[in-house]
A and B are shown apart, each in its own frame.
Chain A
Amino acid sequence: MRVKVRMRIRKKEEAKYISHLDLMRALERAMRRAKLPLKFTEGFNPRPKLTFTPAIPVGITSDVEYMDVEFTKQLSMDEIFSRLNSVLPPGISLVKVDTAEGKIPLSAVNRALYTVVVDIGNATREVLEKAIEKLLSRSEINIEKKSKGKVKFVNIAPWIYDIKIGQIEDGKIELKMELAAGQQGSVTPPAVVNALQEYIPSLSVRRINRDEIFLFDNGKRIDPI
């Protein structure tokens, strides 16, 4: 028997420095503690079958870490939720559990929303608005990317869909960013912030959270759950 279940997981402050790989390992161990009927791969080194949404850089909290997992037995979603949620490490919690059947594959997501709290120092809101406007109008924003020891330049401009200014509280400003996130291309908030710093050198990040991740297709948004 093969039951595919999708989980939405939240990674909070206490767990924000753990890497994607660490999160995967922590979740596997949590499911073992919860004695969930994991389905394992065959062969000498059996692993549970897990798939995830794209990784985020360390230091970022997230409300939307999705994981697909295969079980060998049918269990109610409520039971999975309560058994697993009670054994998760500090800073990691379940938001929702649902069947994965009939839903988009997790590899299909291509867009994410982020809340980025920044401090702009002595710059004004008007300056920030101007900077964002300029950034969004550019067709080329080249950033350095290191992979396997090689440095190459990547144009992130087509992957920045929108940046909105949200709430302002004691000098700190909330930015809502809509960015590409997926196999076709992706950019993360720290890179966008770097680009903004060209206009406002005093700008610094206080907090970043991934709020949502989904498939955006022909003007329509489809969430993993």
Chain B
Amino acid sequence: MDINKILEEILPKVSKPTRYSGNELNIIKKDKRKIKVHIALAFPDVYEVGMSHLGLRILYHLLNEQENVYAERVFAPWVDMEDMMREKGIPLFSLESKTPLSEFNIIGFSLQYEMSYSNVLNMLELAGIPIFSSERKDSDPIVIAGGPCVYNPEPLAEIIDLFVIGEAEEAILELVDLYIDCKESSGSRKEFLERAAQIPGVYVPAFYSVHYNEDGTVKEIVPTKAGLPEKVKKRFIKDLDNVYYPTRIIVPYMDIVHDRAVLEIFRGCSRGCRFCQAGMIYRPVREKSVEKLVNIAREMIEATGYEEISLASLSTSDYSDLKKLIEILTDEFRESRVGLSLPSLRIDSFTLDIARRIMEIKKSGLTFAPEAGTQRLRDVINKGVTEEDLLNSVRGAFEAGWNTVKLYFMIGLPTESYEDLEGIAELAHKVVDMYRQVKGSTKGLRVTVSTSTFVPKPFTPFQWEAQIPLEEIEERQKFLKKKLKNPHISYNWHDGRLSFLEAVFSRGDRKLNLVLKKAREKGCRFDSWSDIFSFSKWMEAFSEIGIDPKFYANRPRSENEFFPWEVIDPGIDRKFLLRELKKAKKAEPTPDCRFDRCHGCGIMKLEGGIACEGKNED
């Protein structure tokens, strides 16, 4: 089948055809006959979402640097394209060479959020690849996955052949070498998977069996082959300053979600917010040097022509040399009008000064994330920001000329009461009052309050906690809607039903594989797109398989329960997490270990004592 020829006919009829046409600047094309491993990097969402993801960009260019490897991209086709493809019998194909996915050696999925799982299944289905790992033959591609979701791989353990846990830059190359080696010997998937399971950071679920207790909880997950680790330790890059980072990156034609040059300044975060999974699993903190970053930025802008650079990390203001970095970058790019954007900024007087510098070049909105409405609850979640800090920063921002402020909160946090919700509304009104104080009136002011619903995540102190019931989520949103009636405040909230499903899958076990298959059969896909999401189909899938989703989302866990994700070792001690949970219940904060003493999270012990700035254990 000549896919190119059929595309000629159908692309003019679909929305946003550049999602499928490829040919962007800096795209890499290779001769398929001259390579040894053909890898499809698959992102289970549309092009504009997937292309905004840094990990995919890094792996694409890193893999293509290898002479033997040809890495191509594939995204989930939007529903209009999917309909056309099914009608014309076009299998899912890669963007670069328009090769059917089933002809690749390896397909690597990037799992960034649980609600993309149905798209993983749909993409396999569109590619004509069996959904379950056990059904695949030697001629089928090896299906691998990475990303933050794989810290609990179990809900996909029967679908994905192999998970890469943690930062993949090194492990992926080891897998590629192994693949070439196996291809030259037996070429069987069994041999490949058996040998791959020996690579640190690689989890092959087919070689681990799950045993359950009578109450339905998991008793243990044990390796079924000799020589496999009981827990798979995550991989991470020790020397971030010298790790490969692409600069000749692809520049999409269409307007993607984050359409700018991304400069990754550090990985990890030691703030220790108790709800935050990223803050735990990406430890330890590792920074890149200012010199390196400035070089990367310069090369990237030269190779792409981007008009904006965004500093990427979990908490931009925690970069040790932020002031210097920003001074150099703003000077460097003043004349060429390349703007700087700083997401995830904690706003205080220091960062406000930085924000003013950036405003010299470009104006962007201001976002604050107090997460909770009262000091008590902020202490519970260890979000070290006070109302005074926030209002001072807001005052500074208003004085500096801003008039648009976004406030992010979470509802349903452990121990939350209506008093805490009231606090959210009060804080929003105080921001309005502050504007009036500074400007004399409320003219031009826009305050946006957004709430998401707390989802307990694996490897966080709150992994033992229950999510509040769905009805209660909706009750609390209703309450806030009423409290936030003000012409200058607009209130957005995240669909509680999605948060509920996210809670099910983030702490799910292997039984959920069947639910996923059932939900896919019922047509579930693009669940994070509100116009496509169908909650009722999901609920039908659960009841037909005979699984109660509340068991996963709304059940508080006992201290001793074994968790399905504990087949993975992210380097964070269970004892530390439990200590943190107990401190949370007493609303006792734990200061950042970079500025305080070490709290013994365990990351120092991973790989026998590694670089970590904390010195003295608790």
Contact = CB atoms under 8 A, between A and B. Distances in A.
Given A46-B337, A58-B17, A33 B363 contact: no
Interface string A6-38: 000000001101110110011011111101001
Interface in A54-91: 58-59, 87, 89-91
A161 interface: no
B21 A17 contact: yes
B78 to A, nearest CB: 14
A153 interface: no
A40 B361 CA distance: 12
A29 B21 contact: no
Interface in A146-205: none
B255 to A, nearest CB: 7
A28 B18 CA distance: 18
Contacts of A31: 305
Contact of B12 (A14, A26, A44, A59): A59
A45 interface: yes
Contacts of B337: 38, 40, 46
A142 B254 CA distance: 32
A90 B25 contact: yes
B362 to A, nearest CB: 6
Contacts of B27: 90
Contacts of A30: 305
A45 B341 CA distance: 13
Nearest to B363: A44
A33 B307 contact: no
Contacts of A14: 21, 23
Interface in A111-136: none
Contacts of A22: 18, 253-255
Nearest to A30: B305
B75 to A, nearest CB: 15
Contact of B11 (A29, A44, A59): A59
A29 B304 CA distance: 7
Contact of A33 (B12, B23, B302, B362): B302
Contacts, number: 70
Interface in B295-323: 301-307
Interface string B240-264: 0000000000010111000000000
Contact of A26 (B11, B17, B25, B303): B25
A58 B8 CA distance: 12
Nearest to A12: B23
B303 A45 contact: no
A25 B255 contact: yes
A45 B363 contact: yes
A46 B334 CA distance: 11
Nearest to A46: B337
* Residues of B contacting A: mostly: loop
B307 A28 contact: yes
Interface in B338-375: 359, 361-363
B558 interface: no
Nearest to B17: A17
Interface residues of B, number: 26
B336 interface: yes
A37 to B, nearest CB: 9
B24 interface: yes
Nearest to B251: A29
A28 B12 contact: no
Contacts of A40: 337
A59 B251 contact: no
Given A58-B12, A58-B17, A89 B302 contact: no
A19 B253 CA distance: 9
B12 A89 contact: no
A25 B301 CA distance: 15
A97 B251 CA distance: 25
A42 B5 CA distance: 47
B72 to A, nearest CB: 16
B23 A29 contact: no
Nearest to A29: B305
B23 A32 contact: no
Contact of A32 (B21, B24, B336): B336
Nearest to B259: A25
A32 B361 CA distance: 16
A44 B303 CA distance: 25
B362 A44 contact: yes
Nearest to A44: B363
A124 to B, nearest CB: 24
Nearest to A14: B23
Contacts of B18: 17-19, 22
A41 B18 CA distance: 29
Contacts of B302: 33
Contacts of B254: 18-19, 22
A89 B306 contact: no
B23 A15 contact: yes
B305 A17 contact: no
A202 B21 CA distance: 27
Among A17, A38, A87, find the residue whose CB has the most chain B CB atoms closer than 10 A: A17
A18 B255 CA distance: 11
Contacts of A28: 305, 307
| For the complex of A and B, 6 pairs with smallest distance between CB atoms | A29-B305, A32-B305, A59-B12, A44-B363, A89-B25, A33-B305
23 contacts: A17-B11, A18-B18, A18-B253, A18-B254, A21-B255, A26-B25, A28-B307, A29-B305, A30-B305, A31-B305, A32-B305, A33-B302, A33-B304, A33-B305, A35-B336, A44-B359, A44-B362, A45-B362, A46-B362, A58-B12, A89-B23, A89-B25, A89-B251
Given A46-B361, A58-B17, A91-B23, 6 more contacts: A21-B255, A22-B18, A26-B251, A29-B251, A89-B24, A90-B24
Interface of B: 11-12, 17-18, 21, 23-25, 27, 251, 253-255, 301-307, 336-337, 359, 361-363
